[in-house]
Chains A and B, each alone.
Chain A
Amino acid sequence: MFARTAWTVFRKDLTVEVRTRETLATTLFFALSAVIVFAVALVRDGRVVADAAAGILWVAIAFAGTLTLGRTFERERYTDTLRALLLAPAPRAAIYVGKLLAVVAVLLLTELMLVPLVALLFDAALLQRPGLLVALLVTGTIGFASVGTLFAAMLVRARSRDVLLPVLLYPITIPVIIAGVRGTAALAQLVPDEPMATFWVMLLAAFDTVFVTLALWTFDPLMTD
């Protein structure tokens, strides 16, 4: 029942997204614009500040993620379908998982476009160890989205949710962003530092485990009332 509900919610969110392209288009446009602005500001005569590419990549992911998170429950609030979701006898934590998977999918698609752009504009060798980079991006994205999906759900009825979401989200997800930046920087060196990148991946995986568990535990009581 749990997996089926999560899959049902995930598939519905993706179907809606494929039809409207609302969130993906906005997120992608915003993230690409941010990267281009940073490139114009930070690249002089083909030279870049060391590790700038890693920082810009994760800042763009964090900003784009906030946009995606804001939309994921806003759609349910607008049509009042959130009430129908919560009234279903399905496990509420499964609804959270379905929503989280949809947010992660949209963000990973955005990153698919972001990574080559950042590598190109900042002349960064991001793709020397693609497997490790994918591991960093996936664990980092899950960590950021796991906290963000929970907060977006909590704030769905709050009037100032657009302001509150980043205010609550960024302080808690700073470890994710730092781990992502350090891990990506380790991979972008002339000789990639694989043990260091692996360490950051493991740290992100630990962060994911803690925050997904906490979210699964708290989602149901937080959504009642």
Chain B
Amino acid sequence: MSVDFDEVRASGLGRHFGRRRALSNVSFSCRAGEVLGLLGPNGAGKSTLLAIASTLLRPSTGHLQYGAHEASRAGAPLRQRLGWLGHDLQLYPELTARENLIFFARLQGVTAVDARVARALTDARLESRADDLVSGFSRGMRQRLALERALLHDPRLLLLDEPFTGLDGPSTIALASRLTRLAGEGRLVMLATHDVDLADDVLTRALVLRDGRLVDDISGRGWRQAYRAALSRES
């Protein structure tokens, strides 16, 4: 069974850990071509929402729908269409850049692994460092490699948790433009960040979360001001 979708729809999503409510009644939808920001202060529920979107965490309440497919039922074929990049970059420092990509490509069931890995190394601008251990890479180089690792299997939905953490100015700009291009290719991009300034030029839409609740859904220009207004309204 293969799974494809061009829309993600969440209705009434909630999640609690014991007595603590991390997410409460969150509903939204996101279409291909959008870069959707999950904004909010620490503890707002952004990472929980991303984890639910990645299918690694089950919601306590509500449903998540990927096109016609229910997240809880689609299993491995759905995971084939999801890419994840966290602020811990999910790379093995003891392996080289090439070995990391080959390992994950095989795990993802990518065909023509060598050609795909060569392309990923080119896209990461790491051809000359392909056979160096990742432990010797700068944060920016690791970030580029990790992004290509997340894209090896051509996912439809790309989930990013605080992707700008630790990046310098040029690396931030490069990542932002890559994300914009990925959305332009018809992918859905969801990224969680607490730093709205870093995500300034990337987002096409933003969901503002606070204490696990969705407090605003902002589209178009001027969302930074709207974000700050939403947070001050809530506090």
Also in contact, A12 and B109, with CB within 8 A (given A84-B149, A87-B82, A90-B76) = no
Asked if B94 and A5 sit within 8 Å, CB to CB, the answer is: no
Point out the residues of chain A lying under 8 angstroms from B80, CB to CB. 89
- Per-position binary interface string of chain B over residues 140-181, scored 1 when its CB falls under 8 Å from any chain A CB and 0 otherwise: 000000000100010000000000000000000000000000
Q: How far is the CA of A39 from the CA of B137 in the complex (A)?
A: 47
Q: How far is the CA of A4 from the CA of B57 in the complex (A)?
A: 26
Q: On chain B, which size bracket covers the interface?
A: 20 to 34
Instruction: Determine which of B57, B93, B104 lies in contact with A84 in the assembled complex, contact meaning CB atoms within 8 Å.
Output: B104
Looking at A13-21, A140-148, A158-166, the stretch in contact with chain B turns out to be A13-21
Residues 64-120 (chain B) with a chain A CB within 8 angstroms: 76-77, 79-80, 82, 84, 86, 88-95, 99, 103-104, 106-109
Instruction: Determine which of B54, B88, B92 lies in contact with A87 in the assembled complex, contact meaning CB atoms within 8 Å.
Output: B54
Point out the residues of chain B lying under 8 angstroms from A4, CB to CB. 106
A131 to chain B, nearest CB (A): 36
- Per-position binary interface string of chain A over residues 74-87, scored 1 when its CB falls under 8 Å from any chain B CB and 0 otherwise: 00000111011111
A2 to chain B, nearest CB (A): 12
Q: How far is the CA of A91 from the CA of B108 in the complex (A)?
A: 10
Also in contact, A5 and B107, with CB within 8 A (given A16-B94, A83-B84, A88-B79) = yes
Is A209 an interface residue, CB under 8 A from the partner?
Answer: no
Also in contact, A81 and B91, with CB within 8 A (given A4-B106, A87-B82) = yes
A19 to chain B, nearest CB (A): 5
Q: How far is the CA of A187 from the CA of B56 in the complex (A)?
A: 48
B-side binding surface: helix, strand, loop or mixed? loop
Closest to A85 in B: B107
Q: How far is the CA of A8 from the CA of B80 in the complex (A)?
A: 17
Residues 7-54 (chain B) with a chain A CB within 8 angstroms: 54
Instruction: Determine which of B93, B95, B106, B153 lies in contact with A8 in the assembled complex, contact meaning CB atoms within 8 Å.
Output: B106
A83 to chain B, nearest CB (A): 6
Q: How far is the CA of A83 from the CA of B88 in the complex (A)?
A: 10
Also in contact, A224 and B109, with CB within 8 A (given A79-B93, A88-B79) = no
Q: How far is the CA of A20 from the CA of B99 in the complex (A)?
A: 15
Point out the residues of chain B lying under 8 angstroms from A45, CB to CB. none
Q: How far is the CA of A81 from the CA of B88 in the complex (A)?
A: 8
Besides A12-B92, A19-B95, 20 other A-B contacts (C-beta < 8 A): A1-B109, A5-B107, A8-B106, A12-B95, A15-B95, A16-B92, A83-B54, A83-B56, A83-B86, A84-B104, A87-B54, A87-B55, A87-B56, A88-B107, A89-B76, A89-B79, A89-B109, A90-B108, A91-B76, A224-B57
Point out the residues of chain B lying under 8 angstroms from A1, CB to CB. 109
Also in contact, A79 and B91, with CB within 8 A (given A1-B109, A15-B99) = yes
Residues 161-220 (chain A) with a chain B CB within 8 angstroms: none
Instruction: Determine which of B58, B82, B109 lies in contact with A90 in the assembled complex, contact meaning CB atoms within 8 Å.
Output: B109
Asked if B103 and A12 sit within 8 Å, CB to CB, the answer is: yes
Instruction: Determine which of B56, B95, B99, B149 lies in contact with A86 in the assembled complex, contact meaning CB atoms within 8 Å.
Output: B56
**What are 21 A-B contacts defined by CB distance under 8 Å?**
A9-B107, A12-B95, A16-B92, A16-B95, A20-B94, A79-B88, A79-B90, A80-B89, A81-B91, A83-B54, A84-B149, A87-B54, A87-B55, A87-B56, A88-B79, A89-B80, A89-B108, A89-B109, A90-B109, A224-B56, A225-B57
Instruction: Determine which of A5, A87, A91 lies in contact with B84 in the assembled complex, contact meaning CB atoms within 8 Å.
Output: A87
